[in-house]
Amino acid sequence: MGRLFGTNGVRGVVNKELTVTMVARLAASAGSILGKRIAVGRDGRTSSPMMRDAAVSGLLSAGCTVIDMGLLPTPTFQYSIKESGLSGGLMITASHNPPEFNGIKAMAGDGVEVPREMEDRIEEVYFKGGPDLATWEQVGNTVYMDVMGDYVRAVLSRVDVDAIREAGLAVALDPGNGVAALVAPRLARELGCRVFTLNAEIDGTFPGRDSEPRPDNLGGLCSLVKASGADVGVAFDGDGDRAIFVDETGRTQWGDRSFALVVREFMRRNPGSTIATPVSSSKAVSDMVEEFGGEVYWTRVGSVDVSRAMVEHGIELGGEENGGIMYGPHHPIRDGCMAMALILEIMAEEKKSLSALLSELPRYHQQKDSVPCPEERKQEALERLRSGVEAPRVETTDGVKLYYKDGSWILIRPSGTEPVFRLYAEADTPGRAHELLEEHKKSLSDVIRR
Ligand code: MG
């Protein structure tokens, strides 16, 4: 049996790896597992209306009632599923992938992406040819729901709106032609910010930049921050669940820097708390947690793993190095707009610039790379790697993570979406991080070749 679900839902090139026939059958299969009242939402991709219609048809054929929430960010969709007491939802999105891709993220009734075992059950039905279809009189129908206003109010209720308004911050926003354009400017204005925007027209061809925000493609936002004199820049990925921040000097900050800042503030207010984060996260995060007597719950890489750990263990804050922050009091899912509101609140309350706040955090150097490995060789290579490595501490939550005496570490894990192994190294100096990376790239290549 094949696999449909990767690290974050089902993804593929439209009309090649992912067709309307597949989506309709997948939606029907999901409906048979999730329940009778299923929300559907979509991002701004060119193929999303087509895929939305396929998903809706599939769900209706399985006898589900479809609640169509229209064009909206994934976190807005997820929050609205939970708030409306629905059985689950299917979001048509390929998140940050290139424009030729589309995909589906499946949500459970709590608005969190379905757990892995539920993905397996949906796949089982799919690969059997789909569920039993409804009889003609049991075919479902569609109702429409506008959820944007309630969502914005919910985010506002989680931060000190007065303090942020008082601070009179200026923000530069780059939704990258994605659906965050529908919410982020509105939210920032409600928070009393002066708002400058870039790439704020929804366009499924992503003409402004890649829909994955990275330091190397946020030059436009960095320039806008400097030219406008904004206090902060925020870039979102294609479906608005991740946010990357640019400080007032025009420097892009990696996701685990902004996450560590949110962690510090949260730990100050809630000392001794547990924070969930994948094993790929910076030591800056765990340092902040330990400083306030808390604990880190390390998960596998993937937002679903972090979110599900939060739900299962009642953890209130989670985050990833790619700019995903999950704020439990709102909803234990990645939410770019909630992340923006939290950072603005910290800036307002501390009355400090973002660069000053970030300079207070411990500084480590991270480097990443990947090594090609055919899908069918991954498992064997990983096992060999695990049995061959030596380090003072070895952890195998995801792939293999080696901790060294000088505080440096390296993580080597098979990608869930591409035929590669990913390597993440972190150390006090860039030289040491580079050295770790090179050494392990070599040994990994040897293991794969054998
Ligand atoms: Mg995304």
Catalytic residue list contains 57: no
Helix and strand numbers (H, E) in the chain are 15, 21
Q: Tokens standing for 78?
A: 């997820």
Share of the chain above pLDDT 90, in %: 92
Distance of CA 88 from the midpoint of ligand 1 (Å) = 18
Sign, Cα dihedral of 369, 340, 75, 315: positive
Share of the chain above pLDDT 70, in %: 99
Q: So what's the pLDDT on residue 358?
A: 97
Q: For residue 369, give the amino acid letter.
A: D
Please give the helix or strand (H or E) that residue 123 lies within, else none.
helix 116-127
Distance of CA 429 from the midpoint of ligand 1 (Å) = 31
Task: Determine contact, residues 271/291, Cβ cutoff 8 Å.
Answer: no
Distance CA 217, CA 239 (A): 17
Distance of CA 292 from the midpoint of ligand 1 (Å) = 30
> pLDDT grade, residue 6 (50/70/90)?
confident
The region of weakest confidence among 129-133, 170-174, 213-217 is 213-217
Distance of CA 87 from the midpoint of ligand 1 (Å) = 22
Distance of CA 325 from the midpoint of ligand 1 (Å) = 11
Distance CA 447, CA 103 (A): 33
What average pLDDT does the segment 135-161 reach?
98
Query: Which tens digits make up the pLDDT trace of 303-330?
Result: 999 999 999 999 999 999 999 999 999 9
What does pLDDT average to over the chain?
96
Helix (H, G, I), strand (E, B) or coil at 73: coil
Distance of CA 319 from the midpoint of ligand 1 (Å) = 13
> pLDDT grade, residue 449 (50/70/90)?
confident
Task: Determine contact, residues 231/354, Cβ cutoff 8 Å.
Answer: yes
DSSP string, 255-266: HHHHHHHHHHHH
Please give the helix or strand (H or E) that residue 385 lies within, else none.
helix 378-388
Query: Which tens digits make up the pLDDT trace of 243-280?
Result: 999 999 999 998 989 999 999 999 999 999 999 999 99
Q: So what's the pLDDT on residue 2?
A: 65
Q: So what's the pLDDT on residue 390?
A: 87
Q: Tokens 């439990």 — which residue?
A: 328
Question: Of 48, 61, 87, 95, which one is the catalytic site residue?
Answer: 95
What average pLDDT does the segment 407-417 reach?
92
Query: For 269, what's the count of Cα atoms within 13 Å in the CB-facing half-sphere?
Result: 9
* pLDDT exceeds cutoff 80 at 417: no
Distance of CA 174 from the midpoint of ligand 1 (Å) = 14
Distance of CA 323 from the midpoint of ligand 1 (Å) = 10
Distance of CA 351 from the midpoint of ligand 1 (Å) = 30
What residues pack around ion ligand 1 (CB closer than 5 A)? 95, 237, 239, 241
Instruction: Provide the whole-model pTM.
Output: 0.94
Distance of CA 238 from the midpoint of ligand 1 (Å) = 6
Please give the helix or strand (H or E) that residue 71 lies within, else none.
strand 65-71
What average pLDDT does the segment 27-37 reach?
98
* pLDDT exceeds cutoff 80 at 136: yes
Distance CA 449, CA 381 (A): 9
Distance of CA 34 from the midpoint of ligand 1 (Å) = 22
What average pLDDT does the segment 368-396 reach?
92
Helices (H), 157-192: 161-167, 184-190
